[in-house]
Structure 1
């Protein structure tokens, strides 16, 4: 793997965090896999200090875990119960966020949501190997932009605290064509309600989206158990 050197303006630990997260997004790490710091320092041509700082940040997202006397390891797959609890938390939080965001729409905000949906649709049509990273990034932008627009720092903070766990599920999930198309349609339904100024309708559409995402997540998790 080619060495990635940081820009002069970006702290090295931040750059290493982005590099490692990119490796997760590109499917280079598997659930439960050990992360050898010595090997990573040689591979990325950095010292251990910024790398450890980056791994500590990833630990806070839930993507990696630190084990006493053993070092860091990629987090295991969610259990079915954990997935249900994660999605139930989103069902409580995200309809409330979108309801508030729908009362505060701006042309710029709506344009950003539409751009993320366009990217989802584009990725759904592209070959899987070329689209997964961009697909999940577009999906995340849609939800994070709504979190920011709701103008409630406590709701936004609560959502961001779930973000790493949502990413953890995404990164170890296979992305089929039908599954890729459905979220784009569901995002569009939320967007259209928000663009119409229908806060209640937007909240209902978001709830339906999360319920459908929960069903897809459980199907994916059960498929893993069946392998």
Structure 2
């Protein structure tokens, strides 16, 4: 075996990534409705691939919280986060990420500051209503927080951060609207960066906590507004 698929000569990894991207877009945009079953045979036919990349993509998506695997029932699209779900997620983030910022700031390097600044610049790119339009924004937001988690030098904190896959769930609230809080996020990320530049770990911790607290309030409001629109 040469590691390529029958579909366009893609390598298996490229094909798996393509399927993952396609399914994630459908999930975030709401083209696959909450609670709907995800039939592997049907998805294989629709995307014109074998079942293997479908299974691999669904396993990866389960870690994001976008799909759920039920015993004897297979995969289903996860429901949208409720206000309680968002509260639980941000409670977890508030325990982990301010400490990440504190520790990473203590180990700050010019290279880290440059990468953090670049991720903030990428948040300034215009976005549209579909996931394809705001995916780059989501990736820049994830990159900012991930860089800080990696810079702690603590593999357990990094693993704890990466386990918070439910963060992408919040971006389902932007489907059909586009990112609605970019200006706030840019300002809050910049406050964290400023603390890094000042080599002030205490200020970095406080800025990260303030950012996550503000995200929590905005997410709660967005969820309530969407629930009201669906009534």
Q: TM-score, length-normalised on structure 1? A: 0.87
The unaligned stretches of length 5 or more in structure 1 are: none
Task: Give the whole-Å Cα distance in 1 for the aligned partners of 2:114 and 2:59.
Answer: 35
Query: How far 1:135 sits from its partner (Å)?
Result: 1.1
Contact 2:34–2:77 (CA<8 Å) still a contact in 1? yes
Contact 1:31–1:172 (CA<8 Å) still a contact in 2? no
- Determine the structure 1 residue equivalent to 2:69: 66
Contact 1:116–1:138 (CA<8 Å) still a contact in 2? yes
Contact 1:30–1:172 (CA<8 Å) still a contact in 2? no
Task: Give the whole-Å Cα distance in 2 for the aligned partners of 1:22 and 1:184.
Answer: 24
Contact 1:6–1:12 (CA<8 Å) still a contact in 2? no
Query: How far 1:63 sits from its partner (Å)?
Result: 1.1
Contact 1:32–1:76 (CA<8 Å) still a contact in 2? yes
Alignment CA distance shift 1:119-1:27 (3 Å):
farther
- Determine the structure 2 residue equivalent to 1:107: 110
After superposing on structure 2, the runs of 4+ consecutive aligned residues of structure 1 that deviate more than 6 Å are none
User: Alignment partner for residue 84 of structure 1, among 68, 80, 87?
Assistant: 87
Contact 1:147–1:159 (CA<8 Å) still a contact in 2? yes
- Determine the structure 1 residue equivalent to 2:98: 95
Query: How far 1:60 sits from its partner (Å)?
Result: 2.6
Please tell me whether residue 138 in structure 1 is matched to residue 140 in structure 2: yes
Q: TM-score, length-normalised on structure 2? A: 0.85
> Secondary structure of the residue that 1:10 maps to in structure 2?
helix
Task: Give the whole-Å Cα distance in 2 for the aligned partners of 1:6 and 1:210.
Answer: 43
The unaligned stretches of length 5 or more in structure 2 are: 1-6
Task: Give the whole-Å Cα distance in 2 for the aligned partners of 1:50 and 1:173.
Answer: 27
Query: How far 1:59 sits from its partner (Å)?
Result: 1.5
Deviates more, 1:146-155 or 1:169-178: 169-178
Contact 1:25–1:133 (CA<8 Å) still a contact in 2? no
Task: Give the whole-Å Cα distance in 1 for the aligned partners of 2:92 and 2:46.
Answer: 38
Deviations, residues 62-88 of structure 1 (Å, cap 9, x unaligned): 110123444321100112111111101
Contact 2:129–2:174 (CA<8 Å) still a contact in 1? no
Query: How far 1:54 sits from its partner (Å)?
Result: 1.9
User: Alignment partner for residue 23 of structure 2, among 20, 23, 28?
Assistant: 20
